[in-house]
Chains A and B, each alone.
Chain A
Amino acid sequence: METVLLPSTQSKSLSRTTWAAQLRALGAIIWREYLHFVRYPTWIIAFIIWPILFPATYIFSSFALAGPGGSGVARFLEVAGTENFLGYIVVGTTVWMWANTMLWNVGFALRGEQMRGTLESNWMTPTNRFFFLLGSGPVHAASTLMFFIFTVVEFRLFFHLTFDANLLSLLAVFLAALPALYGLGFTFASLVITAREANTFVFLVRGIVMIFCGITYPLTVMPQWMQAVAEWLPPTLIIRAARLAALNHAPLEAVSRDLLLLLAYGAFWLALGYLTFSQIERRARLKGALNQY
């Protein structure tokens, strides 16, 4: 018996790609990222110890540099405009850790799939491919907020550090920083699909942030050309605005210039992230490099 297919059946595949379906898929990706995050209980250790552990090296070094009688503090006050070197370092290093974990988590989202051998099969689903990247962002952003809370509590407990924070300004800094940082992460994640040597890119980007953005020192101690480069890097603006908001109770107006610049950088990096992803993803498919590692 001959099977006759109706014209409507012939033209359609089994999948029904609608916006609602795409959003469900995005929700599923976010949920998967969440499950993956909580699956390994060592994240609790990371949340408890890293907020205090990473800055600790710089803090104890600053105690040593300040000297037994605090003779080095006068020089710090002269160049940084504050004696509160503890708070100064904590804010700078916390922003650095945010950028660092973003690079490892968001930046490695696709590379992780590639390493596990699931990227190619995921790519064959009728889900918008950019969603696989986008889905890694929300869980990381939420975990970052928790990380900040742990930071404040731990430094209050162990170092008696008080933050004279303007919460509204601080929240505005956090929100304004999201597009720039995650746009950078998306660009980065796209590049490592073909470059594959992801660690190198992480080390490069976080190294640039570490050296140029003044995480533990004022920019004025660097040579002029380095200060000029620093002004073009989003983390410099985030650190400067966050220090004002967290330590000096700066109102929104005081940080508005940096916030506007951050939003402009954000638009640029998000657009670049999307374009890079589209190009690289197509190139990887053409070269058959999706399942390589």
Chain B
Amino acid sequence: MQTEFGLSQPSWRSHLRALWMIAVNNWKHHWRYPLNAVSDMLQPLVWLAPVYFMGQAFSVNGRAEGFAGFAGTDDYMSYIILGTALTNFIMAVFWGMGFSLKWDMDGGVLEANWMAPLPRPLMLVGRTLSSLATTTLTSLGMILIGALVWGFHPTGNALSAVLVAVPLLIGLYGFGFAFAALVMILREANTLVDSGSYVVMLLSGANFPVTVLPKWLLPLSLALPLTYGFDAVRAILLKTRTLLPLNVEIAILLASMVLMIVIGLRAFYALERRVRQMGTVGQY
């Protein structure tokens, strides 16, 4: 019967077109404010400069020997630059998914977008695509400038490091789904996204070896798959000391990738359904 069919005929092709349009929309929005775009590129360097000077306050002749006792390398700046590059991607997913919903809420378009015949998690993924592209550019620029200004001395295989980072990144989307749903419930994204991403970054050891964490915090850090991602990528590129054997860390990353996506999607659907039941999709 005709009445069973809506006007929309969603298919995988239409989903891909929608995904592309969301990414193009975000890309245009990003470059519509050129100063913001330039600032996004310079931000990581602004964060690195004070870290560099702090390292100098503890180093003799540019060698952080105290640091080597924990990390297995005295090349503090390479350790930090690599951590910052990976952190950029964590931030891109968190802000891309969590904050974009708040942005739509404030703009009053979330409810209208929600009525589009497109799986909602796919909308969230679309919101991250352009930021992932800009993050890749930003991180490459940062590594280049960082190498020129402070020195970056990778000694390992870059391709292996990138391959290890892929499951880490996919797993992050699981985090992002659950996180976006939480933003919908609480309707306040800034604090959540800011503090959520910061906690994850802190505990996963983006800026220091997690072995310096107090005993009561270390289990939390070890429970995060990202910790092993940072650790493995650094071990491959900088030959740092690992928490667990490298192949075990990679296995953890692969298993957690699947687990995080499943849990993240389930949490998203449950919370999103709750928001629709409460009728608060259009509120902010």
Contact = CB atoms under 8 A, between A and B. Distances in A.
A285 interface: no
A63 B212 contact: yes
B43 interface: yes
Nearest to B107: A115
Interface in B20-60: 33, 35-36, 38-39, 42-43, 46-47, 49-51, 53-60
Contact of A42 (B67, B68, B106, B192): B192
Contact of B39 (A49, A68, A199): A199
A204 B42 CA distance: 9
Nearest to B49: A211
A56 interface: yes
A216 B65 CA distance: 19
Given A65-B67, A210-B46, A210-B50, A217 B56 contact: yes
Contact of B64 (A46, A72, A195): A72
A214 B55 CA distance: 13
A34 interface: no
Contacts of B38: 200
Interface in B153-212: 186-188, 190-192, 195, 198-199, 201-202, 207-209, 212
B36 A200 contact: yes
A42 B194 CA distance: 11
Contact of B195 (A46, A116, A200, A221): A46
Nearest to B57: A217
A70 interface: yes
A240 to B, nearest CB: 16
- Chain A contact residues: helix, strand, loop or mixed: helix
Interface string A26-60: 00000000000000111101100110011011101
Contact of A72 (B59, B106, B199, B207): B59
Interface residues of A, number: 50
Please report whether the interface of chain B is mostly helix, strand, loop or mixed according to DSSP: helix
A291 to B, nearest CB: 15
Contact of A217 (B50, B68, B212): B50
A138 interface: no
Given A200-B38, A211-B50, A222-B53, A61 B208 contact: yes
Given A203-B46, A221-B57, A67 B208 contact: no
B50 A65 contact: no
A66 B70 CA distance: 10
B188 to A, nearest CB: 4
Contacts of B195: 45-46, 49-50, 53
B22 to A, nearest CB: 21
Interface residues of B, number: 46
Interface in B184-242: 186-188, 190-192, 195, 198-199, 201-202, 207-209, 212-213
Nearest to B32: A197
B67 A64 contact: yes
A234 B64 CA distance: 31
B71 interface: yes
A69 B69 contact: yes
B244 to A, nearest CB: 19
B57 A75 contact: yes
Interface of B: 33, 35-36, 38-39, 42-43, 46-47, 49-51, 53-60, 64-71, 76, 106, 186-188, 190-192, 195, 198-199, 201-202, 207-209, 212-213
10 closest Cβ pairs, A-B complex? A67-B66, A72-B66, A207-B46, A65-B58, A72-B58, A42-B191, A64-B208, A200-B39, A200-B35, A40-B188
9 contacts: A40-B187, A42-B192, A53-B198, A60-B208, A68-B69, A71-B69, A75-B60, A200-B36, A217-B50
Given A64-B212, A80-B57, A207-B43, 10 more contacts: A42-B192, A46-B195, A57-B208, A68-B70, A76-B58, A197-B39, A203-B46, A210-B50, A217-B53, A217-B56
